[in-house]
Chain A
Amino acid sequence: MAVTENNATIGFHDAMVFPQTPELIIPFSTNYILNGSSISHVPGNSSIVLQSGVYAINYTYQVVDPSATNHWLTMLVFLDDAPLPLLNGNAGTTTSDNMGNSTGFGFATGITTAQNSQALNFRARGTDFPFPGDAFYRFFSVMIVQLI
């Protein structure tokens, strides 16, 4: 079995509404693809559990600020509580008569090494986030491929 047969695409594709919190750890509702035994995730949970190995990670998301103003979102990625700085992927939103109509887009790419059963999670924070009121995430997709 090639090690790359351990792979996954996890996320959501609907208008999820989250409460305003100092830091939002993004929960994922859907396991689109989950192959092999190295990657595991319970739908609805924010933690994607990785067994020992080296993993390529790419993710993209779309965020909507319902207040339709200029905001800045910082997306930080952690393995347990250790930050993975090269996987950070930020996004900005703007007023309704400009590009995106209150929608921002973010993405990032990287490679990380996991020890036994470490939890990968995504946390949103920043000077403008959480927004006044609820934050809507319309789309989030995390692709993971084991390399070693």
Chain B
Amino acid sequence: MRKRPHKKVLVIRTPRCCPQTPTPSPDPPPTADATNDNANIGLNSAVGPNPDGTIPFLINFTINGSSISHTRGSSQIFLQQGVYSVTYDYQVTLPGGNVLITLQGFLDNVVQVPLNSGAGTSSPFLGDTTGFGAGSAVINVIGTQQALTFKVGPGFPPFGSFFTFSVQIIKLS
């Protein structure tokens, strides 16, 4: 009787070990949202511009985080490096009526054109000697910090004043 050739069987041995349970990855450390840094700064009483045309802000209504700082009464809002959403509105009283003003936003001494806004009055009709203005833009603050200011031009009426002014600043990144 002929012997059948021995058939080779390939055996793959697996390590004898208890089944491994996946180790849960640790939760990522909580990261602070950039928007934790935000501020609402302005005024709510009649205030005229400084001799250089900048607007002094009397109220720090809200300042959260460390990226935005402002001293009450100062026209400068200091922003640390980053990207910020800036939105503002104001109500301005311009004696004489029929007056057009332009307000400009600056970072240090560089005008931020998208932040500019205008306001007009039409005495004795709409608002009489009162005008309303608003502006908004995303701005990029470079270096350690820069000063955000708002400024009117030399044609601003001598006895004109801002009755309300509200600047909303939100750090985006």
Binding site for B on A (CB under 8 A): 2-4, 54, 56, 58, 70, 72, 84-95, 98-100, 104-113, 145, 147-148
Contact = CB atoms under 8 A, between A and B. Distances in A.
B35 A109 contact: no
Interface in B39-66: 39-40, 42, 44, 59, 61-62, 64
B33 A92 contact: no
A54 B64 contact: yes
6 contacts: A3-B33, A58-B87, A92-B126, A109-B88, A147-B35, A147-B64
Given A58-B168, A87-B166, A89-B89, A110 B40 contact: yes
A4 B168 contact: no
Contact of B126 (A58, A86, A88, A104): A104
B36 interface: yes
A58 B85 CA distance: 13
Interface stretch (B17-25, B76-84, B128-136): B128-136
Contact of B61 (A104, A111, A145): A111
A107 B89 contact: yes
B32 to A, nearest CB: 9
A70 B166 contact: no
Output the residue of A54, A105, A111, A145 with the most chain B CB within 10 A.
A111
A2 B33 contact: yes
Nearest to B36: A148
Interface string B121-144: 010111110101010100000000
A111 B168 contact: yes
Interface residues of B, number: 31
B69 interface: no
A110 B164 contact: no
The secondary-structure label for the interface of chain B is strand
B89 A108 contact: yes
B115 interface: no
Nearest to A106: B132
A90 B91 contact: yes
A4 B33 contact: yes
B132 A110 contact: no
B162 to A, nearest CB: 12
B149 interface: no
Contact of A110 (B126, B127, B168): B168
A113 B134 CA distance: 23
B122 A85 contact: no
A93 B126 contact: yes
Contact of A148 (B35, B89, B122, B124): B35
A90 B132 contact: yes
Output the residue of A86, A89, A94, A99 with the most chain B CB within 10 A.
A86
B38 interface: yes
Given A86-B61, A110-B166, 9 more contacts: A4-B35, A70-B128, A92-B128, A98-B126, A99-B125, A100-B126, A107-B132, A109-B88, A148-B36
